[in-house]
Structure 1
Amino acid sequence: MDKVDVRFPQPSKAPAANLPKNAEERAAALVELMNRLSVHLARETEAVMRHCTSAELARLGREKQPMMLVYEEVSRLLRVDRDGMAALPDEAKAQLREATRGLYEASAANADALRRNSAAQKILVDTVVGAINRARQTTTPAYGTAPVPPRATYVTPSHGPSTSATLNTRL
């Protein structure tokens, strides 16, 4: 039993979530939620392809999170109710299959867009770093002046220790 301190008022507990009560209600809620998630993932994919700002992508992610949590809970409740799943009408099962297929396709398209965007950003960063390193290594002297030695580049050494130096403070 939990101990309650009666000297100070206790915050009221959050009301129970309004989750569907039977398998048919859960299936209908899940179909509607999967369709909303599919649309949301399509919007997110389109935003990634447009190279929108990180603030917009963060907003889309925040909007997606509660839907994903409810999706996980409702789908778990439906999976554990095997008798209810077996008793669902064929039409509800067909709607579940169609919504699942749509969500899978939207998720795959979203993952592909994110993967391609990540690869493109890596290529861009590698190209810029390479150009900067080449510019530091090669200098072109002006006419009639002595050549300038190349500047140091900032790359990880290919051999030798890569640890930092420490100061010996013993006397």
Structure 2
Amino acid sequence: MDKVDVRFPQPGKKAPTANLPKNAEERAGALIELMDRLSAHLRREAEAVERRCTGAELARLAKEKQPMMLVYEEVSRLLRVDREGMANLPDDTKAKLRAATRDLFDASAENADVLRRNSGAQKILVDTVVNAINHARQVTTVAYNSPTPPRSTYVVPSHGPATSATLNTRL
């Protein structure tokens, strides 16, 4: 507990307040601007994945996206529950809202497609490396002194560099 000097009046601390829009028109305007920023961010993220950027840059992009997504969810929820306010929005605002929604949907689909393709390419690469390692581990020996003709068998080495492999499972 903090010590307070009671001889001098202390200014009261105000609780932090959320700076959310107050009416439907303000919410719609904020949502349009936010969806435009989010669409641009998703396109930057997809472009970074296609450029094979570092994990640190991708993590930074994901960290920047999270607060925008949280605000988007809250403002869109507030706008959806205000049916009367939505009905009274001007037609040009409704048109801008539809266009921003369509653009965000397209950017999300492009982003998901890039991530899906990248994930598929990484799976192929990992499978190829694993198959190459397994093939390199197979040591061919010829079995002698057996009643059947000589045949090839495969033996996995019990130690050495051929027995260790590490897979990077991060995106």
TM over 0.5: yes
User: Which residue, out of 142, 145, 152, partners 2:156?
Assistant: 152
Deviations 1:81-132 (A, max 9, x none): 0000000000000000000000000000000000000010000000011011
Cα offset, 1:149, TM superposition? 6.5
Give the letter aligned to residue 88 of structure 1.
L
Give the letter aligned to residue 44 of structure 1.
E
Give the letter aligned to residue 25 of structure 1.
E
**Which residue in the other structure is 1:130 paired with?**
131
**Which residue in the other structure is 1:109 paired with?**
110
**RMSD between aligned residues:** 2.3
Q: Distance in 1 between matches of 2:84 and 2:51?
A: 46
Q: Distance in 2 between matches of 1:72 and 1:115?
A: 24
- Asked if the contact 2:46/2:114 (under 8 Å) is kept, the reply is yes
**Which residue in the other structure is 1:78 paired with?**
79
Give the letter aligned to residue 98 of structure 1.
A
TM (norm. structure 1) is 0.76
How many residue pairs align between the two structures? 140
**Which residue in the other structure is 2:23 paired with?**
22
- Asked if the contact 2:141/2:154 (under 8 Å) is kept, the reply is no
Q: Distance in 2 between matches of 1:49 and 1:140?
A: 45
TM (norm. structure 2) is 0.76
Q: Distance in 1 between matches of 2:32 and 2:59?
A: 26
CA 1:128–1:13 in 2, change beyond 3 Å: closer, same or farther?
farther
> Any idea what SS the aligned residue of 1:51 has?
coil
Give the letter aligned to residue 152 of structure 1.
V
Following TM superposition, the consecutive aligned residue runs of length 4 or more in structure 1 with deviations greater than 2 angstroms are 138-141, 148-151
**Which residue in the other structure is 1:48 paired with?**
49
Deviations 1:133-162 (A, max 9, x none): 111114599xxxxxx9643289xxxxxxxx
Q: Looking at secondary structure, tell me which structure has more strand per residue.
A: 2
Give the letter aligned to residue 78 of structure 1.
L
Identity level (%): 73
Deviations 1:25-83 (A, max 9, x none): 00000000000000000000000001111100000000000000000000000000000
